[in-house]
Chains A and B, each alone.
Chain A
Amino acid sequence: MKRSKHIKLTLLMGATGSLAGCGDSEESALLFQDTMECNSFGIEFETCQAEYQQALEQHLNEAPRYATEQLCEGDFGFDRCESNGGIWQPLMAGFMIGLVAEAVDEGLDALKKKRKHKRAMLGGKYYSGAKPLYRSRDDFFSYRNSNNDFVASASSSGSTLVKSSKVNYKAKRKPVTRKRGGFGRSASRSSWGG
Chain B
Amino acid sequence: MFRSSSQPRPHWQQLAKETGFNFHTMHGETYWDESVYYQFTLQQIEQDIEDPSVELNQMLLELVSKVCDDDELMQLFAIPEQQWDLIRRSWFRRDPHLYGRFDFSYNGNGPAKLLEANFDTPTSLFEAGYFQWRWLEDMVDAGQLPRQSDQFNALQEALIKHFRQLHRFHRAQRLYFSCCKDTEEDLGTVEYMRSCAMEAGLKTGFCFVEDIGLNDANQLTDLNNNPISWMFKLYPWEFMFTDEFAPALSNLKMQWLEPAWKAIISNKAILPLLWQMYEGHPNLLPAYFSKDKHKLDTAAGIVKKPLFSREGANIEITKAGKTLASSGGDYGDEGFIYQAFHALPNFDGNYPLIGSWMVKDEAVAMSIREDSSLITQDLSRFIPHIILG
Contacts and interface: CB of A to CB of B under 8 A. Distances in A.
Given A175-B219, A179-B213, A191 B123 contact: yes
A2 B19 contact: no
Contacts of A174: 215, 221, 225-227
Contacts of B226: 174
Given A3-B136, A4-B155, A14-B19, A9 B199 contact: yes
Interface in A12-52: 12-15, 18-19, 21
A180 interface: yes
Interface residues of A, number: 37
B194 interface: yes
Nearest to B223: A180
Contacts of B157: 4-5, 7
Q: Top 10 A-B pairs ranked by shortest CB distance?
A: A193-B123, A13-B20, A182-B245, A186-B239, A177-B213, A14-B20, A184-B210, A175-B217, A182-B244, A4-B157
A71 B136 CA distance: 66
B22 to A, nearest CB: 8
A188 to B, nearest CB: 4
Contact residues of A: prevailing secondary structure: loop
A192 B235 contact: yes
A182 B212 contact: yes
Given A12-B20, A12-B191, 13 more contacts: A3-B151, A4-B133, A4-B157, A7-B156, A11-B192, A13-B126, A14-B20, A174-B226, A174-B227, A177-B221, A188-B330, A193-B123, A193-B185
A189 interface: yes
A91 to B, nearest CB: 24
A86 B209 CA distance: 40
Interface string B224-250: 011100000011101110111100100
Contacts of B21: 13
A29 to B, nearest CB: 21
Interface of A: 1-5, 7, 9-15, 18-19, 21, 174-194
B194 A12 contact: yes
Contacts of B239: 183-184, 186-187, 192
A9 B125 CA distance: 15
A192 B236 contact: yes
A15 B20 contact: yes
A80 B98 CA distance: 51
B154 A192 contact: no
Contacts of B185: 191, 193
Given A7-B133, A13-B21, A183-B243, A193 B206 contact: no
A153 B11 CA distance: 52
Contacts of B195: 9-13
Contact of B156 (A4, A186, A194): A4
B370 interface: no
Nearest to B211: A180
A11 B20 contact: yes
A186 B243 contact: yes
B121 to A, nearest CB: 5
Contacts of A188: 330
A192 B310 contact: yes
B311 interface: yes
Given A5-B157, A13-B192, A193-B122, A187 B180 contact: yes
B245 A183 contact: yes
30 contacts: A1-B150, A3-B136, A3-B151, A3-B152, A3-B154, A4-B133, A4-B153, A7-B134, A7-B157, A9-B130, A9-B156, A9-B199, A11-B130, A12-B195, A18-B191, A21-B206, A174-B221, A174-B225, A177-B221, A177-B225, A179-B214, A180-B212, A183-B235, A183-B244, A187-B235, A190-B186, A192-B239, A193-B234, A194-B118, A194-B310
Interface in B264-292: none
Contact of A185 (B18, B101, B243): B243
Contacts of A13: 19-21, 126, 188, 191-192, 195
B124 interface: yes
A19 B212 contact: no
A2 B213 contact: no
B189 interface: yes
Contact of A183 (B121, B192, B209): B209
A10 B310 contact: no
B348 interface: no
Given A13-B20, A187-B180, A2 B240 contact: no
B30 to A, nearest CB: 18
Of B134, B242, B311, most buried by chain A (CB within 10 Å of CB) is B311
B216 interface: yes
A135 to B, nearest CB: 21
